[in-house]
Amino acid sequence: MRIAVTGASGFIGRAVLTELARRGISAVASSRSGIGFPLGSAHKSVVLDIHENAADAYERLGRPETVIHLAWSGLPHYHSLHHFETELPVQYRFLKSLIVSGTQNLIVAGTCFEYGLQSGPLSEDLPTQPANAYGFAKDALRRELEFLKTSQPFALTWARLFYLYGEGQASTSLLAQLRQAVARGEKTFNMSGGEQLRDYLAVEEAARLLVSLALARCDAGIVNVCSGRPISVRRLVEGWIRDNGWAIDLNLGYYPYPDYEPMAFWGDRRKLDSILEGQ
Amino acid sequence: MRIAVTGASGFIGRAVLTELARRGISAVASSRSGIGFPLGSAHKSVVLDIHENAADAYERLGRPETVIHLAWSGLPHYHSLHHFETELPVQYRFLKSLIVSGTQNLIVAGTCFEYGLQSGPLSEDLPTQPANAYGFAKDALRRELEFLKTSQPFALTWARLFYLYGEGQASTSLLAQLRQAVARGEKTFNMSGGEQLRDYLAVEEAARLLVSLALARCDAGIVNVCSGRPISVRRLVEGWIRDNGWAIDLNLGYYPYPDYEPMAFWGDRRKLDSILEGQ
């Protein structure tokens, strides 16, 4: 099976390439500005910006049967109109061109922000109610691909990602900020109240799940990619500090809770588990 | 107040121009290929295709404070990908250019298809679940305009239209088809079972409501423009036959019910009534 990975130089993309190599699978690794790290012999690097509207994108990606599509620009500015003014039409055009050219199996990164301000365990059959432009644009892209499927059949797995953490994450992420504070020798770490319940997954585990979904070729539709277990942000951060042997105190309540997220939500993992069991 | 009407040569557009003239209000009447009927002295006709991306659209529309936006291409092919592949980005770009240029009050035609396969009385606060590409694209345009409002304030009234009927409707509509059958001297009229419950409004009444909403300048968000009363399609057609003194029998059950609509839905009119009462 010929596999391509877009957004391959990103936080999740690098973990997916590592996971593919671990399984002995070679892929074409595509990114906007080249892969800035050693790929090893397993993969082939390709420079491709989906905003270019290249007519030969499918060829340059090695005529892939399966595409794990992670590319998305404009993050972490969740409220920017960029996500639907620019990114949505570009993303749809790019993915449609791959499908029309011959790609049969598409795994696309979705986001828990598609659910919007809904609380508790979130299952894939809930109506989406995105509350920011990023969540809206992802949700709209998924619906557009579902409409496209009715005239141009292909297998679609919409991997709705919850919160991830790990090495090499964007400097705005919680773990990266904590790491920077420790490196600066700070005694306290300013954060929110920390009581909010979230669903966190190590990026290596998310990559393992994404690759399993890609190999399943099961046209699964929406699948939550999550731990299925709520954890308070406070406990999560305390765990990172303990596991790393860091010495830093938490200044809880320094920042307000974000207004675009509910206090408690996590993924319902039953659909994901049933797909993985079937393998 | 300077008013422009887009899609002015269409079924609803003509009725809106008539209603504006009846109230002594002059408007700029915009259409893709010119208005093919006498406008009288009240209005000014402008040829403008929103797909052209004209930089001076706002100027050509007479620098309108209020725009009643009815233009939308690709109907009645509800399942065509055209609605989001082409129409959605074109519509958003056009409306944003008006807002950025100075338009402060936007009345946009929405559709009951945004609700999707939901039954019973439908109120504006229901989550939308569009089941065809047309309904999806209209729903997405509304959400995009709502996001735009957060950075570029304007008054938005999303007039969610239910079923309309009247003179000059598209030849594919039920009333036009019945009229053609009568004109051909046919003895029977083939139709569905006719038991489905719908919400029908005469186009003159819809135009009256649209103009009232435009003049209210109330930033109402979504408003159902509907009768609020369910009626079976059979009774509706029987009423047309009786009112016109036609002699034709109904061949009920000849066509199946459409698969993209529920058997019974109609609009909740309370929000519309409360706005009109406040005037």
In chain A, how many domains are there?
2
CA dihedral B253, B254, B256, B258 (to 10 degrees): -100
Same domain membership, residue B54 and residue B24? yes
pLDDT tens column, A57-87? 999 999 999 999 999 999 989 999 999 999 9
Residue A77, in any domain of the structure: yes
Same domain membership, residue B180 and residue B61? no
Same domain membership, residue A236 and residue A107? no
Amino acid in the structure at residue B161: L
Q: Are B255 and B200 in contact (CB under 8 A)?
A: no
Cα–Cα distance for residue pair A130/A143, rounded to 1 Å: 13
Query: Residue A151: closest CA among chain B residues belongs to which residue?
Result: B81
- Best residue of A144, A146, A149 to probe chain B, by most B CBs closer than 10 Å: A144
The token pair at A262 is: 């509910």
pLDDT tens column, B200-216? 999 999 999 999 999 99
Angle (nearest 5°) at CA B48 between B50 and A81: 25
* Pairing between β-strand B27-31 and β-strand B3-6 as defined by DSSP bridges: parallel
Same domain membership, residue A15 and residue A134? yes
Residue A69, in any domain of the structure: yes
Same domain membership, residue A121 and residue A47? yes
Residue A48, in any domain of the structure: yes
Cis preceding linkage at A76, omega within 30: yes
Cα–Cα distance for residue pair B133/B143, rounded to 1 Å: 15
Same domain membership, residue B192 and residue B70? no
* Pairing between β-strand A249-251 and β-strand B265-267 as defined by DSSP bridges: unpaired
Q: What ipTM score was computed for the predicted complex, to two decimals?
A: 0.90
Q: What percent of chain B has pLDDT over 90?
A: 90
Contact B143 A136 (CB under 8 A): yes
What's the pLDDT score for residue B38?
74
pLDDT bucket at B184, cuts 50 / 70 / 90: very high
Q: Is the pLDDT of residue A279 over 80?
A: no
Cα–Cα distance for residue pair B238/B232, rounded to 1 Å: 10
Contact B150 A89 (CB under 8 A): no
Q: Are B160 and B218 in contact (CB under 8 A)?
A: no
pLDDT tens column, B61-103? 999 999 999 999 999 899 999 999 999 999 999 999 999 999 9
Instruction: Name the residue among B107, B95, B141 with its Cα closest to residue B1.
Output: B107
What's the pLDDT score for residue A222?
98
Residue among B81, B89, B147 whose CB faces A147 most closely: B81
pLDDT bucket at A1, cuts 50 / 70 / 90: confident
- Pick the more confident residue, A30 or A259: A30
Instruction: Name the residue among A73, A55, A94, A201 with its Cα closest to residue A137.
Output: A73
Query: Residue A86: closest CA among chain B residues belongs to which residue?
Result: B89
Cα–Cα distance for residue pair B86/B108, rounded to 1 Å: 18
**A 158-187 residues with CB < 8 A to B:** none
- Best residue of A77, A80, A84 to probe chain B, by most B CBs closer than 10 Å: A84
Residue B257, in any domain of the structure: no
Range of the domain at A189: 170-197+230-251
Residue B76, in any domain of the structure: yes
Contact B147 A89 (CB under 8 A): no
What's the pLDDT score for residue B260?
75
Looking at residue B24, which CATH number applies to its domain?
A: 3.40.50.720
Q: Taking the CB of residue A8, how many other CB atoms lie within 10 A of it?
A: 27
Residue B69, in any domain of the structure: yes
Q: Are A197 and A235 in contact (CB under 8 A)?
A: no
Same domain membership, residue A174 and residue A118? no
What's the pLDDT score for residue A233?
95
Contacts of B92 in chain A (CB under 8 A): 84-85
pLDDT tens column, A186-206? 999 999 999 999 999 999 999
- Best residue of A147, A150, A151 to probe chain B, by most B CBs closer than 10 Å: A147
Residue A8, in any domain of the structure: yes
Same domain membership, residue A19 and residue A131? yes
pLDDT tens column, B30-67? 999 888 777 777 899 999 999 998 899 999 999 999 99
| Distance (Å) from the alpha carbon of B198 to chain A's nearest alpha carbon | 24
Same domain membership, residue B74 and residue B144? yes
Return the minimum-mean-pLDDT range out of A41-50, A66-75, A81-90, A264-273. Answer: A41-50
Q: Taking the CB of residue B255, how many other CB atoms lie within 10 A of it?
A: 12
Q: What percent of chain A has pLDDT over 70?
A: 100
What's the pLDDT score for residue A33?
86
